[in-house]
Amino acid sequence: MSIQKHIDTLSAKRIQEDIVRINTPGSAYIQRCVYGVEGPNVKFGSLELNDGEELKVVNADGSMDCVLSIDYYVEYRNGVPYFKLTPGKNKTKLTVYDANIGKERPMSFEEIRQWLKKTGIIGKNAKPAILSYRIPTQAVASINALKCVDVIPVVRDSVILPKLFTTITGADFDIDKLFISTVWYNMQKEEDGSYLPQQIEDSATEEGLSNTVINDYIDILCMTAKNHPEIFYRSIDEDTKLADDVISWIKEKYPATEKDNLTNASGVLHAMPSMQAKVHDEFLAGKQGIGPFALALVNHVLTRIYKVGFNSKGMYLKNKSLARDIDDDGKSIMGWLSAMINKHVDVAKNPDITYLNVNDSTFNVIALLLRLGYGRRTFMFACQDIMKDYAFAIN
Structure confidence at residue 225 as a pLDDT band (50, 70, 90):
confident
Which is more confident, 3 or 55?
Answer: 55
Kindly tell me if the per-residue pLDDT of 258 is higher than 60. no
| CA distances, 138 to each of 116, 270, 291, 344 (Å) | 33, 35, 12, 13
Q: 168: closest CA among 213, 104, 224?
A: 224
Structure confidence at residue 113 as a pLDDT band (50, 70, 90):
very high
- Measured CA to CA, the distance from residue 130 to residue 111 in angstroms comes to 22
| CA distances, 164 to each of 21, 58, 62, 130 (Å) | 32, 10, 15, 19
- Measured CA to CA, the distance from residue 55 to residue 40 in angstroms comes to 11
pLDDT at 175: 60
Tell me what the mean pLDDT of segment 171-193 comes to: 80
- For 45-49, 51-55, 103-107, 252-256, which range has the lowest pLDDT when averaged over its residues? 252-256
Tell me what the mean pLDDT of segment 357-383 comes to: 93
Which is more confident, 7 or 119?
Answer: 119
Q: What is the pLDDT of residues 131-178, one digit of tens each?
A: 998 876 777 778 899 999 999 987 788 899 998 888 888 776 666 678
Counting residues of the chain whose pLDDT is more than 70, the rounded percentage is: 85
Q: What is the pLDDT of residues 34-48, one digit of tens each?
A: 877 766 666 666 778
Which is more confident, 345 or 59?
Answer: 59
Strand partners, 75: 82
Cβ neighbours of residue 170 closer than 8 Å, sequence gap 6 or more: 141, 235, 236, 237, 240, 342
Domains of the chain: which residue ranges? 24-232, 237-394
Kindly tell me if the per-residue pLDDT of 381 is higher than 90. yes
Kindly tell me if the per-residue pLDDT of 262 is higher than 50. no
Query: Which run of H or of E encompasses 132?
Result: strand 130-133
Q: What is the pLDDT of residues 280-325, one digit of tens each?
A: 666 666 678 888 998 999 899 999 999 999 988 767 788 899 999 9
Tell me what the mean pLDDT of segment 183-207 comes to: 86
Kindly tell me if the per-residue pLDDT of 184 is higher than 80. yes
Q: What is the pLDDT of residues 76-112, one digit of tens each?
A: 998 899 999 999 888 899 988 888 888 889 999 999 9
Mean pLDDT estimate for the chain? 84
Cis omega (within 30 of 0) for bond into 136: yes
pLDDT at 268: 61
pLDDT at 2: 60
Tell me what the mean pLDDT of segment 19-46 comes to: 73
Alpha-helix runs per DSSP H in the chain: 3-15, 109-118, 164-169, 206-227, 229-232, 237-253, 273-305, 333-345, 363-371, 377-382, 385-394
pLDDT at 363: 92
Structure confidence at residue 237 as a pLDDT band (50, 70, 90):
confident
- For 90-94, 166-170, 184-188, 218-222, which range has the lowest pLDDT when averaged over its residues? 166-170
Tell me what the mean pLDDT of segment 215-228 comes to: 90
Kindly tell me if the per-residue pLDDT of 264 is higher than 70. no
pLDDT at 259: 47
